[in-house]
Chain A
Amino acid sequence: MKSNIVQEKLIHKGAEANLFCGVWFGKNVIFKHRIPKVYRIEELDRNIRFARTLNEGKALIKVKKYGINVPTVYEIDRNKALIVMKNIKGEKLRDIIGTTNKIKLKEYLKKVGQFVALLHINGHIHGDITTSNILLTPQEEIFLIDFGLHEYSDKIEDKAVDLHLFKRVLLSSHGQNYKVCYNSFLEGYRIEYENNNLTDYKEIIKNIDVIESRGRYVKPGERL
């Protein structure tokens, strides 16, 4: 008898998980396996993998209902550190920033800003917003992925750290397009807050400077 669940081939080896494509009850899916890391002791390793699997699975289910594009979750197996989710076919934002025209780029980053704002407004912190964790589909839809470091928080500080991390990735990996990307991202972020008649975005964005000033060898505003 043919199995309803078929894991086909390894399509990506990430920093903490291996991604396999396959079929799950007729659907094209991704199997995300958080693999044991031999470098850390077993107890710590299991705690991290189990907690992040459960955390990511739950977060994906929760944030989808706010209208944020994330992969649909079909199955979570904590003890195997496995999530089965919809296979989103798209390119990493990281790989297309350099070759996309400015107008499109602004549009994409604005959408990213809106999604991140929706997360924050609803008390979710992504925890690892990088251009590797944002997908663009052929239909030009933006998807957020990789919620392993997701946290629940309504603190200004935590939201500002989330933005700071993304700013850093834009600076370090996309220096040429940093300004366009970051400004459009913040614009989208602001617009979404305003659409919800909220103004906390001002304080959150202001707090990015405070966080940066706490880092090594920087004064506020001296970073650029």
Chain B
Amino acid sequence: MKKLCLGIESTAHTFSAGIVDFEGNIYGLANDIFIPEKGGLHPALVREQHLNNFRSVITEALTKANISINNISLIAFSQSPGLGPVLKIGALVARILSQLLDIPIVGVNHCIAHVEIGRLKCNIKDPLTLYVSGGNTIVSAFESGRYQIFGETLDLAIGNMIDSFARDAGLSHPGGPKIEKLASESKKYLPLPYVVKGMDLSFSGLYTAVKRLIESNEYNLSYNLNDVANSLQETAFAMLTEVTERALAHTGKDEVLLTGGVAANQRLQEMISSISEEHNSKFEVVPLKLAGDNGAMIGWTGILRYKAEGGHSIEDTIIKPKERMDQINIPWRSEN
């Protein structure tokens, strides 16, 4: 029987369970996603939903893998970063299972897991990663034993900004795919704030500007929502692409990995692919199912850490809502 790890993801809107073996094969993956009726993610409401559904999600993953919980020999969970009340659910479930089944437990940083699942499934070794999602906008690469952050947003995350704007424009959650569709129907570009500071970015001014555009008297006269969506995407993605290219030139990496929920956007893929080609780098997008938040990436990263230094003691499984990926040593990768 293969050694199997149950990975539990619980940092924000997604509660997910993934079953992964120690070679990186994924046997079962199940998700439950909190979708707000209005507004953003209220931590207390997300927590309630995850508490209600964790059992069915884990059961579904086990069923897909065609195994019982007793076949699991390692539990991994998302320990950082994320919404405190939501992280606690994943940690709680993981601790209980670890103690009941008497198997080791290991905590995982969510952002690092996004990179590791990409390295595994896209068959690349040492990429520069652009990780774009509702909660994160990070340009990272491995240097001096850690996943260093070369660039990041100074305020809003890209996905959060797009979703917030979509909400203001009356579109339902999740707004990203809807904005992408609207944008594809326009060729018009309205000038918007383009804020790049070195390899860091700022989206708050851009958000205010697009919000003003749809509140203006000119709205639906000289331009429509498609035009605003197009201008928003063109500006924000050009900013992301520019800092990624700058980081690529600075680090000299020859692989580029695009991941996170926003990685699903075709226009962004096209832009990042373009600069990768220009710098003779291999470009990969993490498959959609594994680019968004998922338990398989937590399971796989848990396996990597477990193999390198064993499991965590229960005292070390305390959640760390604000832990950054560049604060964590990576014992499973040798210095390059």
Given the complex, which residues of B lie within 8 Å of A41, measured CB to CB? Answer: 189, 234, 238
With CB as the reference atom, state the residue of chain B lying closest to A14: B249
Q: Does A219 contact B (CB under 8 A)?
A: yes
User: Is there an interface contact between B198 and A128, defined as CB atoms closer than 8 Å?
Assistant: yes
Within 8 A of A (CB), among B148-186: 148-150, 152-155, 157
Given the complex, which residues of B lie within 8 Å of A176, measured CB to CB? Answer: 144
- B194 partner, pick from A44, A132, A219, beta carbons under 8 A: A44
Report how far A210 CA is from B303 CA in the complex, Å: 37
User: Is there an interface contact between A172 and B234, defined as CB atoms closer than 8 Å?
Assistant: no
User: Is there an interface contact between A211 and B154, defined as CB atoms closer than 8 Å?
Assistant: yes
Report how far A223 CA is from B136 CA in the complex, Å: 17
Chain A positions 38 through 62: 1 when the CB is less than 8 Å from some CB of chain B, otherwise 0: 1111011001100000000000000
Q: Does B255 contact A (CB under 8 A)?
A: no
User: Is there an interface contact between B250 and A218, defined as CB atoms closer than 8 Å?
Assistant: no
User: Is there an interface contact between A165 and B197, defined as CB atoms closer than 8 Å?
Assistant: yes
With CB as the reference atom, state the residue of chain A lying closest to B149: A172
Number of A-B contacts (CB under 8 A): 112
Tell me which of B38-46, B96-104, B269-277, B287-295 binds A.
B269-277
User: Is there an interface contact between B274 and A15, defined as CB atoms closer than 8 Å?
Assistant: no
Given the complex, which residues of A lie within 8 Å of B138, measured CB to CB? Answer: 216
Q: Does A127 contact B (CB under 8 A)?
A: yes
Tell me which of B59-67, B258-266, B320-328 binds A.
B320-328
10 example contacts (A-B, Cβ-Cβ < 8 A) are as follows: A39-B274, A44-B235, A128-B197, A130-B199, A132-B249, A171-B326, A175-B145, A175-B148, A216-B153, A217-B324
Given contacts A15-B249, A37-B275, A40-B234, 8 further A-B contacts (CB under 8 A): A13-B279, A39-B274, A44-B235, A129-B198, A149-B197, A175-B145, A215-B154, A217-B322
